[in-house]
Structure 1
Amino acid sequence: MSTIGIAPTPIVGTRTRLRLTRRGRRVLSALVAAPIAFAIAYAGIAGGSALASGEHAAPVHFETVMVMPGDTLWSIAGEIAPAADPRDVIDEISSLNNLHGGVLQVGQELAVPQRYTD
């Protein structure tokens, strides 16, 4: 009886190295940069048009109150609007005057929404 043996043939490891040409690098750079440029342009157009139109901004009328020694936002809110919730009044005064942390200076003039001073 005869046997046929098949020996595995060694596969020669020819590794191809990926080489990008100058044109390939340009195409790859364009593919990466295009979505970034689109996102920046979209944000600029969408954000710019929202800020540019002042049609929906309601006018704010306000009176001013002078800060005296010992005054706090809580005491001022209680004086100008005793029937309203002081937290809401303080929030409006803080946002209108761009106050951070509620720090007041004696002699400082605070803008107070006119609806509380009527």
Structure 2
Amino acid sequence: MVITGMRRAGQPAPLRLTRRGRVVVLTFLFLLASLASAVLWTTASRADDPPAGPPPTVVVQPADTLWAIAARTSPGRSPHVVVAEIRRLNGLGRDDIAIHVGDTLVVPRGR
């Protein structure tokens, strides 16, 4: 004869979570989900990284200016921004406007 709410001898007690236990389990699941999303975010952002290797360069041609080089190498971007990047990549100061035919300039990677 089994009485409801009572257990037989030798039978394990049913698993019950206290309030603290539920908080611990939910916190663990939240941290696990956060870790999974961080891993996925990092992998997705690496796909957008530019390819490794030597930076692209151009050789200055007659009648070239920084503006013309910027427009030619990064047509979809603002020439103001690209010229600033070319200056930074080549160690040119803000007032350095002289580039000479035959100079090799590092240019930003296309985006």
Give me the TM-score of the superposition, normalised by structure 1.
0.45
Q: Greater Rg, structure 1 or structure 2?
A: 1
